[in-house]
Structure 1
Amino acid sequence: MVSNARGGTSVRQWQKASGEQLYEEAVRRTQEAMQQGTLKAIFWLQGEGDAGTSNYLELLERVATGIRSELGVYAPDVPFIASQNPPGYDVNNERIQRIREYVPNSDWISSAGTSTIDGTHFNAESERLLGIRYAVKVLQAVYGMSLNETQLMQAIYGSEEGATQP
């Protein structure tokens, strides 16, 4: 897992040559990791600050296409999976559900049933749940495995409830 988290950023700041170096740093870190591993998927979780950005999916498509191109990977081989924002960000969450219309070989995960620590940022339990949801999508898209969320939680934690323990 290569993390490129930057809180409080907009999708415009993640564009190549935006001046923020977020895109460039994500590419650099991933290239470095690919020297010792294989890129299996790209995860995206961003957007609370972009609630009013009507062309959000077009901007996100540029990020996804550019990163894949610079990493020398192809859309059919590396899925792009985006998460919804916390419940309450209805415009963004509905928008993310349409990602397949813009980004080839993409999918999304739901934020239903999650909670935040401050109305914007997911709490630890919700972050673990989103991780499970990302894993379910990758297992299906990359490995053809059909596990559901509950099955994966049981495999990892021993029970669905185990996901809530530290």
Structure 2
Amino acid sequence: MFRFLFHRLAVGAALLLLPLATGSVNAAEQPTRELHLFLLVGQSNMAGRGEIDPADNAPLEGVWVWGAEDRWMPAVEPYHWDKSMAGAGLAKSFAAAYRAAHPDVDVGLIPAACGGSALHDWAVGAYFEQTRSHPWFDATRRAKLAMTDGTLRGILWHQGESDSHPGLAENYEAGLRELLQRFRAALAAPTVPIVIGQTGRFTPDALSEPQQQVDAANRSIAAADAHVVWVSAKGLTAKPDGIHFETAALRELGRRYYAAWATLP
């Protein structure tokens, strides 16, 4: 706790010295106790592309988001800023469910998903042109900074659409296993719970072979690791683009993520 308070004072002092760069920060808009942290990684359906209802967008009590300026912000959507179309996501309902079950703690969300990214874009040192970012470096850097204020309680992963193609899907399972192990090692969290969400099932047509390979890989990884769980997207609906979950589906997916996380040791 001393480390947490010292860090909060240091951050506050730094912000006071940089009023033009960051604006004034109300002390009431910063967490006052250690956080349970969740790293949000993957591509656009993790970042969220749902429509935001202004009437449903008050800050969530006890939930914080590590913002683009590397400080905690009240949880107001969009949580991500990877692309201009970032919108409602699954993390809001996940955090609300977590808080309902753990009312005595605060939640810290660490947004780091990159819309459109394939697994190879998460290689060490890789630069992803679509988001003008280094997904691996940015995610781990931001997570390590946020972890000075709390404990990493989970990694939420949703990705696979960009790898559901010939030449990529065949190597997806080995690549994702390596990436998840790399996250655990980099964040010194060898048994951190990891939740993997199923990619959308939005058409009545049979899945292509690459889609089947990615889906099977996600399930296989979860089945083989006691600290990884897979979440079904059955019955969840898409936006008109046929690619992204609509807001109601994202809210349900977030609740499913929490229910799955709660089953892990």
Inter-CA distance 72–81: structure 2 relative to 1 (3 Å threshold):
same
Which residue of structure 2 lines up, in the alignment, with residue 38 of structure 1? 151
Distance 2:175 2:183 in 1: 13
- Please report how far the alpha carbon of residue 60 of structure 1 lies from its aligned counterpart in structure 2 after TM superposition: 0.8
Q: Extract unaligned runs of 5+ from structure 2.
A: 1-108, 129-133
Preserved contact between residue 65 and residue 103 of structure 1 (Cα < 8 Å): no
Say whether residues 1:120 and 2:243 are aligned partners: yes
Residue identity in the other structure for 2:229: D
Which 4+ stretches in 1 moved above 6 angstroms? none
Q: Displacement, 1:101?
A: 5.5
In the TM superposition, residue 5 of structure 1 has moved relative to its aligned partner by 1.8
Amino acid at match of 2:124: K
Residues 64-73 or 15-24, more deviating:
15-24
Residue 115 of structure 2 corresponds to which residue in structure 1?
7
- Please report the RMSD computed on the Cα atoms of aligned residues, expressed in angstroms: 1.8
The letter for the 1-side match of 2:186 is E
The 5-angstrom pairing of residues 73-112 of structure 1 reads: 73-75=189-191, 78-88=192-202, 90-91=211-212, 92-100=214-222, 105-112=227-234
CA distance in 2, matches of 1:102, 1:17: 28
Q: State the match for 2:127 in structure 1.
A: 19
Gapped runs of 5+ residues in structure 1? 143-166
1:100 touches 1:106 (CA, 8 Å); kept in 2?
A: yes
Higher relative contact order, chain-length normalized (CA < 8 Å, sep 6+) = 2
Q: What is the distance in 2 between the residues matched to 1:107 and 1:37?
A: 23
Structure with the higher fraction of residues in helix conformation: 1
Name the one with the larger strand percent. 2
Per-residue displacement from partner, 1:3-27 (whole Å, max 9, x unpaired)?
1121111011012222341011111
CA–CA distance in structure 2, aligned partners of residues 126 and 95 of structure 1:
23
SS in 2 for 1:140: coil
Q: Which amino acid aligns with 2:151?
A: T
The TM-score normalised by the length of structure 1 is: 0.77
- The amino acid that maps onto 1:80 is I
Looking at structure 1, the residues matched to 172 and 224 of structure 2 have their Cα atoms a distance apart, in angstroms, of 10
Q: Share of identical aligned residues, percent? A: 28
Using the alignment, how far apart are the partners of 1:29 and 1:10 within structure 2?
A: 20
TM-score, normalised to structure 2, is 0.50
CA distance in 2, matches of 1:97, 1:109: 9
Deviations 1:114-149 (A, max 9, x none): 11111111111111111101101222215xxxxxxx
Distance (Å, rounded) in 2 between the aligned partners of 1:35 and 1:116: 37
State the partner residue of 1:65. 181
Displacement of 1:95 in angstroms is 2.9
Number of residues paired by the alignment?
Answer: 140
What letter matches 1:138 in structure 2?
W
